[in-house]
C-alpha cells in the first residue's frame, strides 16, 4: 500500500467511524430503552412485541446483500449517503405515531439505514486494510459502539427527567441522525471513491450480481461463519430487548439502572473488540470464535435466577465480552474466504444472515415468553443457541483464509 493510499484510507476510515458513532447512537436510542415502554404505552398486544423489536432488522434481510453487492460495482459513497438520509429522516416519523402498528412500519423504515451502512462501511475498511482487517473492522465497530453504549443511558436519563416524554427522546434521536447525514455529505466531498471495482466486459449488472451471490452462497466457510454470526445476533437481539422488560418488571430496577445494565454489553465491546480483533489477526480467527461463543453463552442461563443489580451487571458484561470476541473475528474471516472483488458481497451476505438471526431472536423469544416458562425459558434458550453454534463451527473446521 502506497503512502497516498494509506493516508486516503486513514482519512476515510476516520470519517466512517465518526458517522457510525452518531448513526448508531441515533438508531440505538430509538430502541433502547424506549422501544419496549413506548410500544406498551400504545397498547401493543404482547404477542406483537417481538415483531416491534424485530421490525428494524427485517430490512437487513432484504437490502444488505443487494446494497453491498452494488457498492462493489458503483463504489461505497453513494450508499453511505442513502444510509445517512434514512438515519436523519426516520426519527421524525416516531413523532407522528398514534397506534401500535404504525410503530412497526416506522421501525421497518428505520432499519434500512443500518442495513445499508454497516456492510458497505466494513467492505471499504476490509479492502483498505487487508493485513489488519480484524483490528480495523473492530475499531470501526467500537466507534459505532461508542454511540451504542451511550444510547441506553442517555435515553434512560431523558425518559427519567422528562417523566417518560417519548417525543423529547425522539427529538434527541433526530439530532444524532442529522449529524450522521452531515458526516455522509462531508464524506462525499472527497475527490476519490473509497472503492470502485470496474465492471467486467460483456457482463450485465444483474448477471454479475447473481454470479457473485451464487459464489458466496456456495462457499461452505461463508455459510458456517454467517450461521455463527446469526446465532450471536439472535441472542443479542433477544437479550437487549427482553432485558429492558425483565429488569424493571421482575427485578424492579428503574429505567436509568436498566439502561446501565443493558449498555454494559456494548460498553465492554468498545474496549474489547479492537484488542480481540488484533489478536485474531495474529493467531487466527478460530480460537477467538470458539471461546467467544462459550463465554457469551454461559452467563445468560443464570440471568432469570438473579435479582441483584451488581451480579446482573457482571453477568451481562461477561456476555458482552464473549459477544465482542466472536464478532471481532467473523467479518474479517468472511472477507478472507472470498475473492477480493466479492468483499462487499460477502459483507452483505454476512449482514443479511446476521439480520435473519436478529429478527428471529426477539420473535421466537416472544413466543417463549408467552408460555408458562416466561423469562426462565427465554434466557436459557439463548444459551442453547450460542453453544450449538459453537459446536457446529468446531465440527466444520472452518478457519483457513483462502484469499488475502
Structural domain contains residue 197: no
The structure's pTM equals 0.73
Separation CA 306–CA 315 (nearest Å): 10
Q: pLDDT grade, residue 191 (50/70/90)?
A: very low
Q: Are 292 and 332 in contact (CB under 8 A)?
A: no
pLDDT of 5 higher than 80: no
pLDDT of 74 higher than 60: yes
Report the CATH number at residue 16. 1.20.1250.20
Q: Which range, 58-62, 120-124, 253-257, 295-299, has the best average confidence (pLDDT)?
A: 295-299
Q: Are 254 and 248 in contact (CB under 8 A)?
A: yes
* Average pLDDT of the chain to the nearest whole number: 85
pLDDT of 111 higher than 90: yes
Q: Which tens digit of pLDDT belongs to each residue from 75-88?
A: 778 888 999 999 99
Cell numbers linked to 49: 412485541
Q: pLDDT grade, residue 97 (50/70/90)?
A: very high
Please count the other Cβ atoms lying within 10 Å of the Cβ belonging to residue 96: 8
What separation in angstroms does the CA of 346 have from each of 56, 209, 216, 222? 21, 12, 6, 8
Across 214-218, average pLDDT:
83
Structural domain contains residue 135: yes
Across 191-219, average pLDDT:
66
Q: Which tens digit of pLDDT belongs to each residue from 225-264?
A: 999 999 999 999 888 888 888 888 888 888 788 878 887 8
Q: Is the dihedral of CA 278, 279, 285, 291 positive or negative?
A: negative
Instruction: Look at the chain and report how many structural domains it folds into.
Output: 1
Structural domain contains residue 100: yes
Domain limits for position 87: 3-190+204-396
Structural domain contains residue 262: yes
pLDDT of 2 higher than 70: no
4: exposed, middle or buried (C-beta count within 10 Å: 0-12, 13-18, 19+)? exposed
Structural domain contains residue 199: no
Structural domain contains residue 403: no
Structural domain contains residue 392: yes
Helices (H), 298-374: 309-327, 330-336, 343-369
Structural domain contains residue 304: yes
In this predicted model, which residue has the larger pLDDT, 185 or 92?
92
Q: Is the dihedral of CA 122, 123, 124, 128 positive or negative?
A: positive
Amino acid at each position: 500500500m502506497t503512502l497516498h493510499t494509506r493516508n486516503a484510507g486513514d482519512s476515510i476510515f476516520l470519517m466512517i467511524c465518526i458517522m457510525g458513532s452518531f448513526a448508531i447512537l441515533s438508531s440505538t436510542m430509538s430502541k433502547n430503552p424506549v422501544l419496549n415502554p413506548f410500544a406498551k404505552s400504545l397498547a401493543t398486544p404482547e404477542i406483537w412485541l417481538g415483531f416491534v423489536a424485530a421490525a428494524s432488522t427485517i430490512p437487513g434481510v432484504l437490502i444488505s446483500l443487494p446494497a453491498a453487492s452494488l457498492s462493489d460495482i458503483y463504489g461505497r459513497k453513494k450508499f453511505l449517503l442513502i444510509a445517512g438520509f434514512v438515519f436523519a429522516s426516520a426519527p421524525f416519523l416516531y413523532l407522528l405515531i398514534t397506534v401500535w402498528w404504525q410503530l412497526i412500519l416506522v421501525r421497518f423504515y428505520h432499519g434500512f439505514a443500518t442495513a445499508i451502512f454497516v456492510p458497505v462501511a466494513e467492505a471499504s475498511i476490509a479492502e483498505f486494510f487487508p493485513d489488519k482487517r480484524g483490528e480495523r473492522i473492530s475499531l470501526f465497530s467500537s466507534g459505532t459502539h461508542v454511540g451504542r453504549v451511550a444510547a441506553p443511558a442517555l435515553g434512560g436519563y431523558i425518559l427519567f427527567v422528562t417523566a417518560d416524554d417519548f417525543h423529547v427522546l425522539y427529538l434527541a434521536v433526530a439530532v444524532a441522525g442529522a449529524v450522521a447525514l452531515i458526516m455522509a455529505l462531508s464524506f462525499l466531498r472527497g475527490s476519490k471513491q473509497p472503492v470502485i471495482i470496474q465492471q467486467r466486459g460483456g457482463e450485465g449488472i444483474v448477471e454479475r450480481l447473481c454470479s457473485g451471490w451464487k459464489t458466496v452462497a456456495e462457499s461452505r466457510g461463508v455459510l458456517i461463519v454467517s450461521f455463527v454470526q446469526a446465532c450471536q445476533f439472535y441472542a443479542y437481539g433477544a437479550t437487549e430487548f427482553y432485558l429492558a422488560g425483565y429488569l424493571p418488571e421482575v427485578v424492579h430496577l428503574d429505567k436509568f439502572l436498566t439502561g446501565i445494565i443493558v449498555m454494559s454489553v456494548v460498553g465492554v465491546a468498545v474496549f474489547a473488540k479492537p484488542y480481540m480483533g488484533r489478536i485474531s489477526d495474529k493467531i487466527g480467527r478460530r480460537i477467538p470464535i470458539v471461546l467467544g461463543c462459550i463465554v457469551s453463552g454461559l452467563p445468560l442461563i443464570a440471568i432469570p435466577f438473579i435479582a441483584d443489580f451488581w451480579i446482573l451487571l457482571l453477568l451481562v458484561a461477561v456476555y458482552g465480552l464473549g459477544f465482542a470476541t466472536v464478532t471481532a473475528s467473523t467479518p474479517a474471516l468472511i472477507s478472507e474466504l472470498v475473492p477480493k472483488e466479492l468483499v462487499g458481497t460477502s459483507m452483505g451476505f454476512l449482514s443479511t444472515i446476521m439480520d435473519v438471526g436478529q429478527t428471529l431472536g426477539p420473535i421466537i423469544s416472544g413466543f417463549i415468553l408467552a408460555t408458562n416458562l416466561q423469562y426462565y425459558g427465554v434466557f436459557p434458550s439463548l444459551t442453547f443457541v450460542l453453544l450449538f453454534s459453537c459446536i457446529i463451527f468446531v465440527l466444520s473446521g472452518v478457519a483457513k483464509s483462502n484469499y488475502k
